[in-house]
Amino acid sequence: MPRPSLVPLLATALAGICLSPTLRAAETAAPSQASPASVPRPTTVVAQEFPAAQVDAGRVLFGAQCGFCHGRDAFGGETGPDLTRSTLVASDVRGDKLAPHLRAGRIEKGMPAFTLPDDDIAALVAYIHEQKKRADSAVGGRRAVDPSDLQTGNAAAGQRYFANACARCHSPTGDLAGVATRHVGLPLLRRMLYPTPGGRDDPSRVPQTVRVTLGNGQVVTGKLAHRDEFTIALLDERGWTRSWSTDRVKFTVDDPLEAHVEQLAKYTDSDMHDVLAYLQTLR
């Protein structure tokens, strides 16, 4: 079995860095005033039993790989949903749905693809089902994460990774000086993975800029106002909104935070939490 290490889910990611929304609670939304714990858990479609040794192996893996988002018991954390309330878990039969989901990941939601051996994936599936079975008779759900869930990284390894992958834009004595004092635990992890609190649609995020080259060679620059398959629009320095058909101009978009999105796909489990361990030293 590989050395335990945390797997981000977030993001997240993150967005982030946890299992995607398909692992969220029952499809029928509870009234807005109701507690999530008051919504009945979805019924398990097929009752399943797993060897105790496999469940125990899954418990260790889950605590290290997933616990910082979903809680060590899979009952949910500050950034990850309660997996015992997941319709995907309830409908899964010995990993027929969970295993492909774990292997594919959801990068855009902060969940990396797992590259664990088949036996480890099976152990995770077994543990999740065991927790679902135990939770069906429980009351309430956990909404916090044990601080030790975030303490598995190697700060020295994280510093080396930071020097190679992050130092072009960030400095431990500049913009990141004291970051571990300003953000502690999960908030620090979220800021590391995607620095804008509200994600891509947060109005406080650093604005994207765009450079448009017209057919006659004229170049127009400004803040990105809109972009889709057919149209590119910007807000120029005079405050005017200008737009063009994408098939009639050439354009490049500069998004200062895009590097964080790209980096999310490059992190290994250990890398991500080694970097987190290093950032926790910047006080």
Q: Are 69 and 110 in contact (CB under 8 A)?
A: no
**Got the DSSP string for 148-201?**
GGG----HHHHHHHHHHHTTTT--TTTTTTTHHHHS-SHHHHHHHH-SSTTGGG
Report the pLDDT value the prediction gives residue 124, as an integer from 0 to 100. 92
Domains of the chain plus CATH, in order, are: 1-30+49-196+273-283 (1.10.760.10), 207-255 (2.30.30.100)
283 residues of the chain, pLDDT tens digit each: 444 444 434 433 333 334 434 444 333 333 334 445 556 777 878 888 999 999 999 888 887 777 767 777 877 766 677 888 888 888 889 989 888 988 887 766 666 777 889 999 999 999 988 888 887 776 544 444 555 667 778 999 999 999 999 998 899 999 899 999 988 887 888 788 766 644 444 444 567 889 999 999 999 999 988 887 788 999 998 889 999 999 999 999 887 777 777 787 788 878 888 999 999 999 9
Per-residue pLDDT at 172: 93
pTM for this model (two decimals): 0.44
For residue 236, report the phi and psi dihedrals to the nearest 5 degrees.
-80, 180
